[in-house]
């Protein structure tokens, strides 16, 4: 197949999933054309069947606001025509699904469109009164819609009262790249005296509740020697650093910023913490699980579909940092339990979410969408 993929190319789970999907599809013999305003950050090596087409933004004095939706539409039309694409796969509905709809109208139905919902496109942005009718229309008029968790599927169907169905295709992981390691070069650096290492990675937005990570860690550190690694960057970073100062724990917390060496850092860590108040899936938790890290998370959204309570980690209510700390201490002080949880986390990643299992589900979905033309 010849597949066009549009996503947000910067740091963020939806862009990661879209790019990894494109690369995996190319590995399986398809031709993949990324159409976005910038090169997706995971698109960092040459692949014979992968192409990138940058969306050019027209500048004109009257255009006070950017017209990305229209510029993307034009590029989708151009790439579809000249590359003879079969299908356009939009990741994150707003505004991509609208551009795909317009492109298909311009091209006279000569292309099929698929939209994958990732989270806030459905649960937050799409609900804005100014976007809601557009969102509903764009989903109803996509030839196929997928969601990354059952939670997101069910919530979207109920919220937007859709007549069409949504297919659940969960996110996936390359379990060969994200794997436990016997020895790790950073372990001694992060935990020179054998301290337990907690890790969190996010975009430091309010929904991620990074202060809960810090408070949980402070409670753990009060009971045993521990270190905290914080990966990523975003609007709550300064406040988070201030909180560490206020709590007097900054010497045991490392703010690592955005990192490419994620697997190395996860491999040097013992426990992943994800206390989000909104999360349709929790790709960061899956990445950690694939490296053999148990996860302590909230019960929100699609997270419990990924992290199984008392099996691959523990689940607590939003904001219950005392409980999260108790769970962490329990795992850190019971080697047998920790090893069992670590094995279960890795096993779940391999058995349920490996890319070799999930990518064919997209191929099958594309085939069904094309057959329904």
Binding site for ligand GMT (CB under 6 A): 8, 12-15, 17, 118-120, 148, 171, 207, 278-283
Cα–Cα–Cα angle for 48, 52, 57, rounded to 5 degrees: 165
Length of the chain: 373
Instruction: Return the number of the residue (80 or 116) whose C-beta is nearest ligand GMT.
Output: 116
CB of 282 to ligand GMT, least distance (A): 5
Instruction: Return the number of the residue (56 or 260) whose C-beta is nearest ligand GMT.
Output: 260
Beta strands in 188-275 (DSSP E): 196-201, 226-231, 253-257, 271-274
CB of 277 to ligand GMT, least distance (A): 9
CA distance 126 to 123: 7
DSSP 103: H
Instruction: Return the number of the residue (207 or 329) whose C-beta is nearest ligand GMT.
Output: 207
Instruction: Return the number of the residue (16 or 111) whose C-beta is nearest ligand GMT.
Output: 16
Residue 337, Cβ density class (10 Å: 0-12 exposed, 13-18 middle, ≥19 buried): middle
Residue nearest to ligand GMT (CB): 119
Instruction: Return the number of the residue (207 or 318) whose C-beta is nearest ligand GMT.
Output: 207
CB of 124 to ligand GMT, least distance (A): 7
Q: How many Cβ atoms sit within 10 Å of the Cβ of residue 111?
A: 22
CB of 292 to ligand GMT, least distance (A): 19
CA distance 73 to 88: 11
Closest listed residue to residue 40, CA positions, set 73, 17, 10, 66: 10
Instruction: Return the number of the residue (86 or 212) whose C-beta is nearest ligand GMT.
Output: 212
And the tokens for 142?
């996509």
Instruction: Return the number of the residue (177 or 189) whose C-beta is nearest ligand GMT.
Output: 177
CB of 369 to ligand GMT, least distance (A): 20
CB of 138 to ligand GMT, least distance (A): 16
DSSP 257-324: ES-S-HHHHHHT-SEEEE--S--SS-HHHHHHHHTT--EEEE--TTHHHHS-BTTTEEEE-TT-HHHH
CB of 152 to ligand GMT, least distance (A): 7
Q: How many Cβ atoms sit within 10 Å of the Cβ of residue 242?
A: 12
């Amino acid at each position: 197949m010849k597949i066009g993929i549009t996503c947000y190319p910067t740091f963020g789970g939806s862009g990661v999933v879209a790019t990894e999907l494109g690369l995996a599809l190319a590995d399986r013999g398809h031709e993949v054309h990324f159409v976005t305003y910038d090169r997706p950050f995971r698109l960092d090596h040459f692949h014979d069947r992968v192409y990138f087409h940058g969306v050019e933004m027209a500048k004109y004095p009257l255009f006070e606001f950017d017209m990305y939706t229209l510029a993307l539409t034009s590029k989708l039309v151009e790439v579809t025509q000249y590359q003879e694409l079969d299908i356009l796969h939009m990741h994150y509905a707003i505004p991509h699904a609208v551009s795909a709809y317009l492109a298909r109208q311009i091209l006279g139905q000569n292309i099929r469109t698929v939209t994958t919902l990732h989270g806030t496109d459905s649960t937050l942005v799409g609900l804005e009164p100014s976007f809601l009718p557009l969102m509903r229309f764009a989903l109803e008029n996509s030839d196929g819609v997928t969601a990354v968790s059952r939670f997101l599927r069910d919530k979207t169907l109920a919220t937007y009262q859709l007549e069409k169905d949504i297919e659940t295709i969960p996110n996936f992981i390359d379990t060969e790249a994200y794997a436990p390691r016997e020895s790790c070069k950073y372990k001694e650096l992060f935990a020179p005296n054998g301290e337990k290492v907690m890790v969190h990675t996010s975009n430091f937005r309010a929904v991620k509740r990074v202060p809960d990570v810090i408070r949980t860690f402070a409670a753990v550190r009060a009971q045993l020697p521990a270190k905290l690694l914080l990966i990523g960057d975003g609007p709550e970073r300064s406040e988070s650093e201030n909180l560490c100062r206020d709590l007097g724990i900054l010497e045991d917390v490392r703010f690592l910023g955005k990192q490419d060496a994620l697997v190395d850092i996860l491999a040097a860590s013992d426990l992943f913490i994800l206390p989000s108040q909104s999360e349709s899936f929790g790709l960061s938790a899956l990445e950690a699980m694939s490296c053999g890290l148990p996860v302590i998370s909230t019960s929100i959204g699609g997270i419990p579909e990924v992290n199984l309570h008392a099996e691959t980690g523990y689940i607590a209510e939003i904001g219950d940092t005392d409980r999260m700390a108790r769970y962490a201490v329990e795992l850190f002080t019971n080697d047998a339990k920790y090893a069992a949880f670590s094995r279960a986390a890795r096993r779940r990643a391999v058995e349920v979410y490996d890319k070799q299992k999930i990518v064919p589900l997209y191929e099958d979905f594309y085939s069904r969408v094309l057959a329904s033309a």
